[in-house]
Amino acid sequence: MKRLLPVSLQNVHLEDDFWAPRQQLVRDVVVPYQWKALNDELPDVEPSHTVANLKIAAGEMEGTFHGMVFQDSDLYKWLETVGYVLAIRPNPELEALADGVIDLLARAQQPDGYLNSYFTVARPDARWTNLRDDHELYCAGHLMEAAVAYYQATGKPKILDIVRRLAEHIDRVLGPEPGKKRGYCGHPEIELALMKLHRLTGDELYLRLAKYFVDERGREPLYFALEAEARGEKRVRPYNFKYSQSHQPVREQTSAEGHAVRAVYLYSGMADVAAETDDEALLAACRRLWEDIVSRRMYVTGGIGSSAYEEAFTVPYDLPNDRAYAETCAAIGLVFFSHRMLQLEADAKYADVMERALYNGVLSGMSLDGQRYFYVNPLEVWPEVAEHREDMHAVRTTRQPWFGCACCPPNIARLLASLGGYIYSVDPDTNTAFVHLYIGSQAAVSLAGQDVRLIQRTRYPWDGEVQLQVSASAQAEFAIALRVPGWARRVEVRVNGQPVASSWESKGYVYIRRVWRDGDTVTLSIPMPVEEVFAHPEVRMNAGKLALQRGPIVYCLEEVDNGRNLQSIVIRPGQTWTAQYEEGLLGGVVTLQGSGWRDVIRPQGEAVPREFGHGQPLYAFQRCAREETKVKAIPYYAWCNRTPGEMTVWVRYES
């Protein structure tokens, strides 16, 4: 199966006003902060006990296991982040700290290769008895991802040796052969991790295991039912097999169901297996599931998973704003899935979704200072009501310093640290370099037998002007493919200042093939007007409302700029918005400023309207009066970094 090859993180250096400071924040603030959290050194934060659990498992501490059954995975994602940070810039002190963690993992690993602190400490006789709920394979997968990242950054094999022994142990326990359990994980993740190991080492064991986990899922008899029966499980409510995407074989699934993070992790692993094995049926399933997500189940921010119950997809077009779950990890998983599909089919629609999630649904999950996090990402917040809801976790109005279930903080850190690996791809068969994301950077690639450096300069996402300079020691013929964002009304492409005569467009990319010389420069100009976004009519909660978008950035209104009761604001479609860069606001953002109206009560006998207050009727036979008001919108990702208050993405409109 033909596929693009992503340009690796090691060959891309970010030089971007928007993203480079965020990578620096991960390196200088987020990684040390999260290490303190994992090591129970943050004051006024519930202890994580993650490092302590492994020390107990290694026999180096007395104590009992504390935390979630998958607590180890938080440390593994932190270690993966460290690998990406070291790949970008050496740091001897951080590397020594990570080496110490790896040494601890080696000491905690059991003689048979098993490694999981929860079962080693708390339930040594229950290993591999509840794959549905107990996350053993999920934790193993995150350790495998960390091993690949750390080895690629440092060349040190110790962590690879640990995961090799663990994978060999898993292969002895699980599989289709006689005497093995025909099981798979309740929380997919190991599938994509095994594929990373396979691509790094070439070892067919990892491909075989990944393919088995994908192929076996959902086959009759359903393993999770057999496993529960063997445990003597009695449930008040029958288990929902859709929750873990195990209700039917993956090639037969036509809609995204169940826990959103599990879903997109599974689909990412499916795409990897399809690519490696030329499995067209599996690829077709990936296409169907991706289309179902983005056309019927995705928020305008790129968030997915609308229900707090089971953190799941519900029915098509059910996208409530104030009860949106939209877990940060789910948006991250959608980036993973879209990036993999993009390598299989050079179609800009995958990059469009990847970009939408990155700039909106992912970035909103972490505060600008890197020390507060959202687990869930609502599109509308009324703080006073949120305080009284039972599902309060789904409507947090302030970011938290850490979580008892802390999957999101290290997840966003590892994605931001590895962002360089998502910008470019190469098609070696056609000698084509693809530019998927517009991020200031330098990329080293091989094209037409030449070492070529692509130097990208831009102020994106605030400005749509992109320059791509070619640096090469000798001239060579190859193609450069530039993505035309789905939100763009038109683009202009020039080479060395002149309109391009020999270019063509295919699936959202402009291709320019020519003999390139050192210093040749491509300029892509993308106008960035303020766009009004309207939801599909089936999205009932957005009827009569619109959202604002400029470039890839989705905007929202906050109470601090617009006053309370944001739902009383009405704007008119087609009005003029002023886009203004404010350097001193929220780390430097483009804000949108316009005018609208606010519904108010005009008491009898008073000429000057005032906002609704005590003593006014709850219902009346005439509509509210309106007064003109100024409206200011900020990027959604930056909300809740100032005075807490109301927020909304969707705003009422009247023609």
Catalytic annotation present for 405: no
β partners of residue 570: 597, 652
Give catalytic status of residue 327 as yes or no. Answer: no
List of E strands, 134-267: none
CATH number where 487 lies: 2.60.40.1180
pLDDT of 392 above 70 = no
Strands (E), 111-243: none
For residues 299 and 396, membership in a common domain is answered with yes
Name the active-site residue from 286, 329, 407, 556. 407
Residues 399 and 478 in one domain: no
Q: Is the pLDDT of residue 329 over 80?
A: yes
Q: Is 336 exposed, middle or buried (0-12, 13-18, 19+ CB in 10 A)?
A: buried
pLDDT per residue as tens digits for the range 170-216? 999 999 999 999 999 999 999 999 999 999 999 999 999 999 999 99
Mean pLDDT within 517-537:
97
Whether residue 8 has pLDDT greater than 50: yes
pLDDT value of position 38 = 97
- What's the number of domains the chain is made of? 3
- 415 and 469 share one domain: no
Residue 609: predicted pLDDT: 46
pLDDT tens digit sequence for 88-136: 999 999 999 999 999 999 999 999 999 999 999 999 999 999 999 999 9
- Count the Cβ atoms, other than its own, within 10 Å of residue 492: 13
Residue ranges in 498-554 assigned as alpha helix (H) = none
What pLDDT is stored for residue 46 in this prediction?
86
Helices (H), 495-623: 559-562
Spot the catalytic one: 80, 227, 311, 558: 311
**Do 379 and 648 form a contact (C-beta atoms < 8 A)?**
yes
pLDDT at residue 485 greater than cutoff 80: yes
* pLDDT, mean of residues 65-70: 97
pLDDT band at 398; cut points 50, 70, 90 = confident
Instruction: Check pLDDT > 90 for residue 517.
Output: yes
* Same domain flag for 534 and 506: no
Q: Are residues 291 and 358 in the same domain?
A: yes
**Per-residue pLDDT averaged across 473-485, rounded?**
96
The encoded tokens of residue 345 equal 């089919």
In 3D space, the residue among 268, 288, 148, 160 whose CA is nearest the CA of residue 213 turns out to be 268
Confirm if 483 and 432 have CB atoms less than 8 A apart.
no
On whether both 452 and 489 belong to a single domain, the answer is: yes
CATH code of the domain in which 367 resides: 1.50.10
Structural domain of 567:
530-653
Of the residues 460, 493, 525, which one is the last residue of a structural domain?
A: 525
Is 322 found in the same domain as 261? yes
Q: Are residues 516 and 534 in the same domain?
A: no
In this prediction, residue 614 has a pLDDT band, given cuts at 50, 70 and 90, of low
Structure confidence at residue 203 (pLDDT): 98
604 pLDDT band, cuts 50/70/90, is low
Query: Domain ends where: 379, 397, 421?
Result: 421
> Which is nearest to 598 in space by CA: 607, 608, 613, 611?
611
Q: Please report, as a single letter, which amino acid is at residue 405.
A: C
pLDDT at 618 over 90: no
Is pTM beyond 0.95? Reply is: yes
Same domain? For 448 and 484 the reply is yes
Rounded alpha-carbon distances, angstroms, from residue 262 to 417, 497, 515: 22, 48, 46
Q: Are residue 479 and residue 436 in the same domain, yes or no?
A: yes
Percent of the chain with pLDDT over 70: 96
Q: Are 460 and 499 members of one domain?
A: yes
Same domain, 158 and 250: yes
Residue 288 has pLDDT above 80, yes or no: yes
232-280 tens-digit pLDDT: 998 889 999 999 999 999 999 999 999 999 999 999 999 999 999 999 9
pLDDT tens digits for 14-61?
999 999 999 999 999 999 999 999 999 999 888 999 999 999 999 999
In the prediction, which pLDDT does 620 show?
Answer: 78
Share of the chain above pLDDT 90, in %: 90
pLDDT digits (tens, 9 = 90+) for 368-387: 999 999 999 999 999 888 76
For the cut 50, the answer to whether the pLDDT of residue 611 exceeds it is no
Which of 525, 554, 572 is a domain's end point? 525
Judged against a pLDDT cut of 80, whether residue 228 lies above it is answered with yes
